[in-house]
Structure 1
Amino acid sequence: MSQQQYIKDVCCSSLPNTSEYHKIRAALYRQSYLIFQKLHQKSTPITVNQAAKEYDDTLNEQIELVEQYYHELALNKERQEYLKLSAIWQLCKIVYFSDQKDDIEALIKWYNRINSSLYYEYDRQAIFNHPDGPLEHPSFWPFAIRMTLLGRIDQLSALLKHTLPDVSFSRNSDILPYIIALNDITIDFPLNKEKLSAIMANLQASKRFSPKIDYHAQQLLAVLAILSGDEMITLEHTQDDIHAYICCRFYQSAVGSFTDFTARHPSSSNQNSFSSLLPPQNVLRSIIAGDIYQAIEECVHYDWWLLAHLTDLLSMNQMIDRDINIPVRQDTVSVPVKSHFILYYASTLKNQFGLWKQAYSYMFECGELGRQAVIEHMSNMDLNVDDNALTEVVDFCNHHSLESTGVELYKRKAAMCMEAKDYKKALYYYRTSKQHQYIDTVFYEMIWHLAMTGEWSDISSLSPERYDGIYYTIYKHLHNLHNHIERSELKEAAHEFRALVESDSVPNHIMAIVIWEGLALVRDLDASQLTAADILRIKSQWQKLNKLSPAQDFKLLYFYNNQDKLNVPERNGDLENVLKYQKQDFLDTTGVWFSRALEKTDS
């Protein structure tokens, strides 16, 4: 029961507050599905790493689309959402789905990309063009340290090259050799660590003759320490442990894992200076630390596009294998991590974006649980759609071994058509689904509809080769009988009449209508050319009704004859009395005409 309830809960999945973003989000979801499809196709699927890259590209395209599409208020909210998703996805791509293990260069580029304001905080042109030389600008060293922290050795080198020829160095001759030495080192990367250590040692041992020189020396030592991978100095100059760790790893591979790093510097994990435009640090910390399940838990507040595709890739790489316990009413149900997020995400695609085919394809990658979710969705499908749309769904069922589900959809649609008195459509759906046992009941309902409304349904377009049930045959002959009588074609009408009264398959309550309708032929034997044998056959059917049929068998005839279809006795007792009268009136009226007809045929 818990699993059934879980499936029901899944199928109600939706995203809150998506009205503004409905159309544009669908673009991301459609494109992502194509990648998902390529990843899971049986023949020549793409690799997990390639899929991760393509998902990343799709996210970037989505951000560009958002910027083009939305007005300012919605733009900010939606753009921020996808910038955060992009930051998380790119980090996952580097840590979990990279062809190059421990790609620290990619990691520092990622950090710089999501924190681009750090690069632009200082006015580079103002520093370079300071009238007294770059070194005299108050932001010279903060800029140099910042570029070092961001791994932008190219910018540090450019700064030093621009500074060295400046005349201001005549006033800073004590520090000049060390800056020249640093400039020489920054020309090549990786840095020469031996030379770097030597510069630091010499600078630390040097004498400083003024506070200004001492300030320059301390700042230069900070740059050298960061370049050496000094963790404490790096932490002092960064605003969070993630940046510090990436920077230290960039310059010193022996730093180890992020977990080891934070264990050495526990207080650093309390830093939380990230912008509101970026994902919370707990998310990024978990990913960098390789704590996959914690990372998944931290990401549940985002669009589940992220978790659906992330857990799918992790599962394919055999990096996650746990089930999670999901509360269901007063119980819990155990579900594979990947399946849980894909099922909920897929249901959202179907429920809010109308992407049912994509949604069901996602679900089919979740084993039997996904199959049950598809069936549950289809059992609740709104069938107020056109024929082509429903046929497309049923074809999908047949293609995915859900033939019985497709049949049920057609049966439900046929039942809806029956309620709407759209009998031709009901016949179409029963025939298409090969539910031949229901077809004749449609014609039975058509007979009742005729009695209740006086409306005939044109069945001339229906092929007799396809329909051979008793109620089809009755309705066809009864309809033809009525039409011929209306056109005073009594001889042709008699042919249809004989077919009905000579049949042993016509139920008594319908035979009453047949006989009543045929009175026009009995009254005019010359035109109808009914014989004595015909009259005796009719009289035999009349006698059977007289002896065997209760008053209830004349209910159909009562409605058939009643001109005011809405004026029907509501109480059972009243209706019973009316039906008794209807029976007697039928027997009296028809009996008289049969007697006259027999007298006429005998004379």
Structure 2
Amino acid sequence: MSRNVSVRLNPPLFKEGGVDDFQTSGRTLSLVVSPRDGSLAIYPTPNTDPRNLKPGYPKSQPLYTAVEQRPPTSERRTFVIDCSVVFAALQNLLNVAPTKEPELLGDNQIPQIIRKLTVDYGNFCKECWAFSSRSESREGPLDSEPDHYRKLHTCFSLFTVLYLPESGFEDAPIGDELMEWLNANYIEPSTEEGDHLSALERPWEDENFWSYVTRATLRGLSKASAFFLEALSKHPSENLRRMSEHLAPLLKNHPRLHQFNSERDFAISSRRWKEKVKTLRLELDHIPDGDRDDGFDDWWDHFSDIVSILEGREEVLKRLCVDFGSDWKEVCVAWGIFVDPRLRRQDLPEVVVQILDEMPPDPTDLEDVTHSLLMLGKPTQVLSQAAQLDPWLAAHLADTMEPLELIDRDPDDSGLTLRQQYILSYAEYLHSDPGLWRITADYMCSCGDIGKEMADQVLMRVPLRLKLSSPPGGPPNDEASRIRAGDLVGVLKEINETCHHHQRERARRAVCRIAARTFLAEKEYGLAVAYTSSAEDWPGLGRIVNCVLDEYFEEGPVKFARLVSKIEPSLQTLRKQPSSIANGVFTYRLMFAIHFADFHKQRSHGHLQEAARVAAAMLKDEIAPKSWWAVVLSDSVDLLLNSEVMPFTPTDVSVLLHKLQEITMRTSHGAGPDYLSMLARATKGKDEKSALQRLQVVRLALAKYYARCTAIGVSGGPDGLFGY
């Protein structure tokens, strides 16, 4: 469903008639769409090599921003959120309930549940209509005038009446339901008129008396009509008094379908009632011409119109509706009450076509055209008109029509069904408000793979609000603090729940990667590792380990150990995963970082024997990468030279010496970069030569340590410490 968008730049980029000059200057207009809310950024940009730009062209160029959809605010936002609950319930009914609880949902139960949900939609429209109509509620600008919500209500409620009848009334006459809909949404005659007439001693002398009684009759308001006919008991005309005495009971006893237990009883009663109306017509026609005027008005003509309504005379119904300023709807509804009381839903379009030939809908009134298409039984065209009235209306009508098989379920060339096209169009409108991201994703995820991929893009761009600091002067970010304490809260939790609900694992992992980058930038390495592993981003885990190890060179061993201390819980989680992952190279590098940090932690706390044990274990168990062997050996020198304790066992010293010998031998054969790169970074010269000099210190320390072992009678084995 492509759309052409016209954007007017203000202030103008160039004066009128300056298009050619703009183009020859080597510039063109570029447009960028924000993936966060669909807003536009428009700006001039070179369309050639910048060196070829026309001399004298301004270096400073304006940047224009625009939005295709105005974000919903105030009552509209509340309306959107309320309706999304009903939408979610309908999706659950159609997608989940039939598979989980098929025994609870018979063939007739799903349409009835859908009916209840569509009634809820209509009620939300009505509530928002009432809210926006109250002047005291207008604290700020409204998205839509009250009349807009009235239009939404009339369209959705008419759809419910026509296409979702109550159980057992699918094949019942529809006249009463249509009349109830008409009277609820288009109140005529007004209550004020009735109050005014009832306060008069001789109401028939008022110029609006007969029009009120006639219209009340036309609208099926029998009690109101009968009340004023009974007031004619004081009229000076004896004939009018007598006719009114006969007509009032007929109005009161007008058979209506809801009064009977069966349609057969209704039909019998209607025929008998019609016979009484015919009798009244005969009596009325026998009244002499000279007694048909009471000095105020020709009462007979008005009385005859009322009797004609009861007789179901089509031409009179149409004439009266035109006289009263009504339209085709009132004729159609009255038709089902007076002309054909047994008119059924499937027969309504034929009647509507006949009436619209003489009284067509207003083509400039989207509401009126939508009503006519609903009554004509043209759901596809209904959606086209509804989309122009409000994307909300088209989306939710389409969502309801598809399970009722009113529209085609097959996708077109775009790969989308008709329902999905209108749902996604509405979702794009919601996307203009980033705060409605969760609802936007819900609607998109109901539209197959295309919609789910669109939802992924929305979810991956929701601001996570992970920064601890708020804007200057603002309160601290409590959610970010709780996340750092180990809780999954706030936006991050909501995104996780949404991804889980819609099974959007790809989006969840992407969001975890984004969160990990935030924590990495803040040196929250424990959280960075946790979210990276949750995303199963193993290369990302490798990058984090590199950053962690860089802290050793940039901040020193003490701060390095403190920064790494929070990573160990994440390592425990990783090691519980399948062996193919837990034994991966990135996990092992993380294990080394934790062991190396523990080594320096024990050193700084004076736990020399524990530090020596960790150092030897890193080398013996090959936890340390070979590029770090020299660093571990170098950092062990102070332990080897300690004069108070001898923390290394002879076996440990043997391990250290073996690694030193391998480094020396490999380096002499040209593998220096593989073994000395990290130690070189830690030395003053930061080169291989400085690293080798440092290793000489290590060799000397090992020799002294061995000498001390010999002096106290400790042997490294049958061949001695150096006998390998």
Question: Which TM-score band applies after superposition, normalised by the shorter structure?
Answer: 0.7 to 0.9
Q: CA deviation at 1:312?
A: 2.8
Deviations 1:128-174 (A, max 9, x none): 4434x23222221111122122121221111111112x1x42xx345
Deviations 1:161-206 (A, max 9, x none): 1112x1x42xx34545444443343242147334434544564565
Query: 2:568 maps to which residue?
Result: 462
Q: CA deviation at 1:107?
A: 0.8
Query: 1:119 maps to which residue?
Result: 189
Q: CA deviation at 1:351?
A: 7.3
Check if 1:188 corresponds to 2:248. Answer: no
Query: 2:225 maps to which residue?
Result: 156
Check if 1:233 corresponds to 2:316. Answer: yes
Measured in 2, the distance between the counterparts of 1:599 and 1:24 equals 79
Q: Structure 2 matches for 1:139-538, cutoff 5 A?
A: 139-164=208-233, 166=234, 168-169=235-236, 172-173=237-238, 175-190=240-255, 192-200=273-281, 203=284, 206-209=287-290, 212-213=293-294, 215-238=298-321, 239-253=326-340, 257-263=348-354, 266-269=357-360, 280-321=367-408, 333-345=414-426, 352=433, 365-380=446-461, 382-384=463-465, 386=483, 387-388=488-489, 390=492, 393-394=495-496, 397=499, 406-407=508-509, 409-411=511-513, 413-432=515-534, 442-454=544-556, 455-456=559-560, 457-459=563-565, 462=568, 469-502=587-620, 506-524=624-642, 527-528=645-646, 533=654, 536-537=657-658
Determine if contact 2:516/2:529 at 8 Å carries over to the other structure: yes
Check if 1:36 corresponds to 2:59. Answer: no
Q: Compared with structure 1, are the counterparts of its residues 128 and 383 closer, same or farther at alpha carbon in structure 2 (3 Å cutoff)?
A: closer
Q: CA deviation at 1:484?
A: 4.0
Q: CA deviation at 1:269?
A: 1.2
SS in 1 for 2:416: strand
- The letter of the residue matching 1:97 is L
Deviations 1:240-260 (A, max 9, x none): 111122123221118863554
Gap regions ≥5 residues in structure 1: 3-7, 326-331, 563-577
Query: 2:476 maps to which residue?
Result: none
- The letter of the residue matching 1:342 is I
Measured in 2, the distance between the counterparts of 1:594 and 1:285 equals 96
> Taking structure 2 as the reference length, what is the TM-score of the superposition?
0.66
- The letter of the residue matching 1:24 is T
Determine if contact 1:31/1:58 at 8 Å carries over to the other structure: no
Deviations 1:534-554 (A, max 9, x none): 774464255247433456976
Gap regions ≥5 residues in structure 2: 3-32, 39-67, 256-269, 467-482, 576-582, 709-724
Measured in 2, the distance between the counterparts of 1:535 and 1:102 equals 97
Query: 1:110 maps to which residue?
Result: 181
SS in 1 for 2:402: helix
Q: CA deviation at 1:237?
A: 2.4
- The letter of the residue matching 1:32 is V
Determine if contact 2:318/2:331 at 8 Å carries over to the other structure: yes
Q: CA deviation at 1:50?
A: 3.7
- The letter of the residue matching 2:635 is E
Determine if contact 1:10/1:344 at 8 Å carries over to the other structure: no
Measured in 2, the distance between the counterparts of 1:444 and 1:269 equals 75
Deviations 1:51-82 (A, max 9, x none): 32343245435644762893266579464333
Structure with bigger helix share is 1
Q: Compared with structure 1, are the counterparts of its residues 483 and 541 closer, same or farther at alpha carbon in structure 2 (3 Å cutoff)?
A: farther
- Structure with greater contact order relative to length (CA < 8 Å, sep ≥ 6): 1
Query: 1:90 maps to which residue?
Result: 157
Is 118-127 or 72-81 further displaced after alignment?
A: 72-81
Query: 1:570 maps to which residue?
Result: none
Identity score, percent: 16
- The letter of the residue matching 1:498 is A
Query: 1:575 maps to which residue?
Result: none
Deviations 1:85-136 (A, max 9, x none): 22112111111111324421121121111112x22176334434434x2322
Measured in 2, the distance between the counterparts of 1:221 and 1:273 equals 36
Measured in 1, the distance between the counterparts of 2:190 and 2:76 equals 35
Is 537-546 or 150-159 further displaced after alignment?
A: 537-546
Deviations 1:409-466 (A, max 9, x none): 5455445544443221133235556677875664343112332343312437726866
Determine if contact 1:525/1:597 at 8 Å carries over to the other structure: no
Measured in 1, the distance between the counterparts of 2:417 and 2:140 equals 38
Deviations 1:307-364 (A, max 9, x none): 3332233222222226576xxxxxx615222222334445666874867666666556
Measured in 2, the distance between the counterparts of 1:161 and 1:211 equals 18
Aligned residues: 564
SS in 2 for 1:47: helix
Determine if contact 2:630/2:660 at 8 Å carries over to the other structure: no
Deviations 1:247-298 (A, max 9, x none): 2322111886355444356342156898xxxx72111111122221221111
Measured in 2, the distance between the counterparts of 1:11 and 1:242 equals 44
Measured in 2, the distance between the counterparts of 1:489 and 1:10 equals 54
Q: Compared with structure 1, are the counterparts of its residues 355 and 29 closer, same or farther at alpha carbon in structure 2 (3 Å cutoff)?
A: farther
Q: Compared with structure 1, are the counterparts of its residues 433 and 89 closer, same or farther at alpha carbon in structure 2 (3 Å cutoff)?
A: same
Measured in 2, the distance between the counterparts of 1:189 and 1:318 equals 37
Determine if contact 2:352/2:375 at 8 Å carries over to the other structure: no
> Taking structure 1 as the reference length, what is the TM-score of the superposition?
0.78
